[in-house]
A and B are shown apart, each in its own frame.
Chain A
Amino acid sequence: MSIYVDQHTKVLVLGITGKSGRLQTKIMKDYGTQVVAGVTPGKGGQVVDGIPVYDFVSEARAHHQIDAAISFVPPQFFRDSCIEVIEQGIPFLVATAEGIPDHDVVDVLQYAALTGVTVLGPGSAGLIAPGKCKLGAHPPQMYQEGRVGVVSKSGALSYEVGKTLTEHGIGQSTVAAIGGGPLWGVKVSDILLKFESDEETDMIVMLGEIGGTMEEQAAEVITHHISKPVVALIVGKSAPKGKSLGHAGAIIQGNKGTVESKVQALTDAGAYIAKDSLDIVRIIKVLEGAKV
């Protein structure tokens, strides 16, 4: 199967009656994702696009098998709705909202970690396993089935690269966006490990950007645990220098986070460095040629 989800995954949508939730649910359903139920407090009994809406996650659980949830609820209600999902034992949650207070995000991620629930996000565009399941905002027309796994922080960049790969005849096993951070449930390195053990993935594309230390951590994982080829693109080479960090941030992060340090770490780990989205295609074609 693809990673985290496949054609059998039964999905619950949180915030299904909102404008964005409604539109995204329709696109997911049209793509073939099995959306079985929705939850919006106070809207129980309504039907959205043929999908029954409940007031509580527990009520949806009582009527449907649910394997994964995706949340379109606004930041104010994020913490509460995630806790409800976690306490109902739904094992996989995609959290799309941005601008959630850090304290709420950390509470949810720590609770999820304690209970073994996987949270993709917050601020995540979700993921798509082309031809099987779309759990998020990835525009379906930009993807095709194949054997390259793509992981990105940025949603838009994962659309951009998916589109470029598809235009050049390179299909994808799964394309996942973890969110812009700086707080994450699932990290790039978690997805790298999933791709490593995924039988449907031959090659991995990793999309990173300046700031933080996630790419350096991923380089560690690649060095020790990834045998499949990794093509990496780090954007922001020409971006202006960011704002300086406060004392506490500087203490935790040291002086990592520049494009140079990320490219160096990934090169040392044996990854192929692409200079832009088209260059990813070129490298994959070379790697595919070498394999034959």
Chain B
Amino acid sequence: MKLFEFQGKELFKEYGIPIQSGRLLTSPEESLEALTPPMVIKSQVLTGGRGKAGGIKIWEGNDDLHGIVDRMFKLSIKGEQVNAVLALNSVDILKELYIAITFNKSDSTCVLIAGASGGVDIEKHALDDEQTMSVIPFNSLLGLSEYQIRMAAKTLSIDDYATFRSIVLGMYGIFKDYDAVLVEINPLAVTPDGLVAIDSKIEIDSQSYFRNEGKIRRFADEVFQLTGTDVFAAVEDTITYVPLSGNIGLVSDGAGTGMLTVDLVTQFGGTIANFCELGGITNEEIVYKALTKAAAGEGVEKMLVVLIGGFNRMDHMAEGIVKFSKENTKKIPLYIRMCGTLEDVGRRIMQEHHISIYENLHDAVKSAVEAEMEK
């Protein structure tokens, strides 16, 4: 789950990281009387690049704040409707820095990243200006060591080390306490009054909800109010569903074989209508649900079902397919390849219900691609 800027800053405040003062507006009708210029008016969306999309405006005082706020609530940024606006008191920015704590997954370590040129073009800076970036790995069991924070401070030419240190330790606290996979401040501003976190970007590991649901419920409720997405519900469904534009619905029990199948379909001149992967340890209900979902997809004229079970049991898969076949109201032809754990039992069930299966993947794909839609 990604947190909104205002949510991340709430955590920053709790962890002693300096932020600008301001107010959250959740409707254009809210009274703006107590607000005094100059202020920065920031749309609250979860997508990146809102500044370039007109989602951040400066209110100097000579134009109408109501107008700015009204227009911002009407914005849709990369398809995301603006339902909250953060009005912040301006600060003088002398320099913009970048700081983040995350994982370097290719090395299975935690990393502290410090960039001397923060701001909206940080990715570009990372590529062509490597000498101003430090990526400092640290051991998750030991946590951040003092010297590692000093290294980051050196990269950033920090004057006020004590404040910087407490900011980094605050970020680390959030990283650990909230099972965050990313805690980022971009930019961290150097102002005449010291360091200030101008933005916040925090992402909480959806795999950690089983132990954090209580702690992050307040954020999840706000995300639900502002976007309509129930983050907890989204996790319970292990099925991956990607709609595409062809005429073959694909259900597979592994991402690797699923992708191989998509490649084979393309190679044989067919097109995929949707990609549906069962995920995790599956059962009869899940495969039934996936088949129903794929069948309902736009443009589906036939379906490829590619199952090769290790943990996944073919007896369960067969039960799910039989259940779906009985209801298959659109009479969509199924091309099924089924093998693996308990395949004998699975085959027997399929035979009993007169559902034919293919022995190998190439044959199933070829037949599906070449078959004409049954009239």
Contacts and interface: CB of A to CB of B under 8 A. Distances in A.
B140 A110 contact: yes
Contacts of A181: 105
Q: Is the contact region of chain B dominated by helix, strand, or loop, or is it mixed?
A: mixed
B103 A180 contact: no
Contact of B259 (A23, A164, A235): A235
Interface in A246-271: 246-255
A253 to B, nearest CB: 8
Nearest to A112: B108
A239 B258 CA distance: 10
A155 B254 contact: yes
Contact of B205 (A102, A111, A142, A255): A102
Given A20-B311, A235-B263, A182 B126 contact: no
Contacts of B186: 247
Given A99-B207, A103-B140, A24 B311 contact: yes
Given A156-B257, A247-B100, A103 B179 contact: yes
B254 A156 contact: yes
A101 B179 contact: yes
B310 interface: yes
A245 B109 CA distance: 18
A248 B207 contact: no
Contacts of A32: none
Contact of A217 (B106, B139, B242, B252): B106
Interface in B98-138: 98, 100, 102-106, 108-111, 113, 115, 122-123, 126-127, 133, 135
Nearest to A19: B281
A236 interface: yes
B207 A101 contact: yes
Contact of B256 (A106, A153, A184, A237): A153
B211 interface: yes
A208 B176 CA distance: 32
B35 interface: no
B112 to A, nearest CB: 10
Given A76-B211, A248-B100, A99 B280 contact: yes
Contacts of B122: 247, 251
Interface in B176-220: 176, 179, 181-182, 184, 186, 201, 203, 205, 207-208, 210-211
B360 interface: yes
Interface in A117-135: 125
Interface string A160-172: 1001100100000
B19 interface: no
A272 interface: no
B361 interface: yes
How big is the A interface, by class? Answer: 35 or more
How big is the B interface, by class? Answer: 35 or more
A221 interface: no
A167 B363 CA distance: 14
B313 interface: yes
A153 B256 CA distance: 8
A157 interface: yes
A193 interface: no
A158 B139 CA distance: 32
Interface stretch (B22-30, B58-66, B338-346): B338-346
A42 interface: no
Contact of B242 (A24, A76, A240): A240
A208 to B, nearest CB: 9
A163 to B, nearest CB: 7
Nearest to B277: A156
Nearest to A213: B106
B5 interface: no
B104 A277 contact: no
A27 interface: yes
A160 B181 CA distance: 33
Contacts of B100: 247-248, 251
B208 A252 contact: no
B296 interface: no
B109 A156 contact: no
Given A106-B110, A276-B267, A155 B182 contact: no
B263 A237 contact: yes
Nearest to B110: A106
Nearest to A255: B127
A278 B365 CA distance: 13
B105 A183 contact: yes
Contact of B207 (A100, A125, A160): A100
A96 B311 contact: yes
B332 interface: no
Nearest to A99: B207
Contacts of A111: 141
B266 interface: yes
A237 B254 CA distance: 16
B310 A137 contact: yes
Interface of A: 20, 23-24, 27, 75-76, 96, 98-103, 105-107, 109-111, 113-114, 125, 136-139, 141-142, 152-160, 163-164, 167, 180-185, 207, 209-210, 212-214, 217, 233, 235-240, 244, 246-255, 275-278
7 contacts: A156-B256, A156-B308, A235-B263, A236-B262, A238-B263, A238-B265, A252-B102
Given A105-B108, A110-B139, A277-B260, 9 more contacts: A100-B207, A103-B208, A136-B310, A156-B252, A159-B257, A184-B108, A239-B262, A247-B98, A247-B122
Task: Give me the 3 closest cross-chain CB pairs, A-B, nearest first.
Answer: A154-B256, A156-B254, A137-B310
